[in-house]
Amino acid sequence: MELRLATRGSPLARWQTDHVAALMRAAAPDLTVEPVVVSTMGDRRLDQDIWQLGGAGVFVKEVQAAVLDGRADAAVHSAKDLPSNPALAAPGLVLAAVPERGDPRDALVGGALADLPPGARVATGSTRRRAQLADLRPDLTFTGLRGSIATRLDTVAGGEVAAVVVAAAALERLGRQDEAAEVLRPGVMVPQVGQGALAVECRADDADVRALLAGIEHRPTRRAVDAERGFLASLGGGCELPAAAFAVVDGDGAGRLAALLATLDGRLVLRTATTFGAADDPGAAGLALGDELLERGGGRALLADEGAVTLPA
């Protein structure tokens, strides 16, 4: 049997797709896996930050379309790129597999946080990263940054900025982990929802492909990502939102979810956490935590004042 995997064309996306292909072949040795490379709006529009392009979906819509129109059988995404809001889900597709997660943390390239000089210029296109760094180091200045990991790291090598912030998993997957000056633990910088994890979608009515993909599902990772996505869905936003969530799930399926919501300038940061049992729905636990932060933790007033997102009713 042949399985066609839709993917973006960046070196990181191709690594991720090759990784999923290797997992699939290990689970089904007779399987032939071929990539179907797709260009997305997020790849083409490098002149604007992701949140300015509308955030959720800019890296996945065209890849999803390749599955829906039959050019591919499944699509491989970075889980952090997949919209969490059910209203933005692609009709006809199902999240069929979440393989075991890589490193969820953020990394600084160019200098450790404590070593950056006063007023240092840090490059990041992420509102989440910017808000948390501004909270930790109010003296820092920021500039947007887009492009491949190599392009981002070149800005440090060329002296354009003092540091850039990238996903630690991206550095590791591209063999550049030694360039990290510091890897920030989740207690210092809460990761983006789904960071370090992969998400594989297929057509909801394709029973054969769904059965194949079930072989690479990693239950603890899936439950962690579901909890994180539930939190973000409750806020009605995506990667344009200064929000973060990170869940740790044990082998039995019980977990702890930590979450954060902030103003872009880091002047106000709200933190909260919850636990869920092995028999609980992790997505529902994430939704409940987000609702609590919005209604009783001051999150609704914070976001309304910030004007960063349209809040759910």
**268 shares its domain with 299:** yes
What is the rounded (10 degree) CA torsion for 111, 117, 119, 124? Answer: 0
CATH number of the domain within which 250 lies:
3.30.160.40
pLDDT score at 264: 84
How far is 168 from 102, CA to CA, in rounded Å?
Answer: 9
**131 shares its domain with 279:** no
Reported pTM: 0.90
Catalytic residue among 43, 49, 73, 81: 81
pLDDT score at 108: 98
Side-by-side strand order, sheet with 163-167: 141-143, 121-123, 163-167, 106-109, 182-184
How far is 266 from 135, CA to CA, in rounded Å?
Answer: 4
Please state whether beta strands 93-97 and 121-123 pair in parallel, antiparallel, or not at all (unpaired).
unpaired
**135 shares its domain with 252:** no
SS3 annotation, 112-132? CHHHCCCCCEEECCCHHHHHH
How far is 27 from 74, CA to CA, in rounded Å?
Answer: 16
Count structural domains, the chain: 3
Contact present, 167 and 195 (Cβ < 8 Å): yes
Backbone angles phi and psi of 250, in degrees to 5: -85, 180
How far is 63 from 81, CA to CA, in rounded Å?
Answer: 12
Side-by-side strand order, sheet with 198-203: 32-37, 2-7, 74-78, 198-203, 93-97
Block mean pLDDT (10 aa), the chain, length 313: 94 96 95 91 50 58 94 96 86 97 98 97 93 96 87 91 96 96 97 97 97 97 98 79 94 97 89 97 97 88 61 38
Backbone angles phi and psi of 72, in degrees to 5: -140, 160
pLDDT score at 41: 64
pLDDT score at 237: 62
**132 shares its domain with 91:** no
**209 shares its domain with 276:** no
| Residue whose pair of structure tokens reads 């440090």 in the numeric block | 156
pLDDT score at 266: 87
Range of the domain at 294: 227-305
Residue 76 within a domain:
yes
**179 shares its domain with 116:** yes
280 flagged as catalytic: no
Contact present, 110 and 162 (Cβ < 8 Å): yes
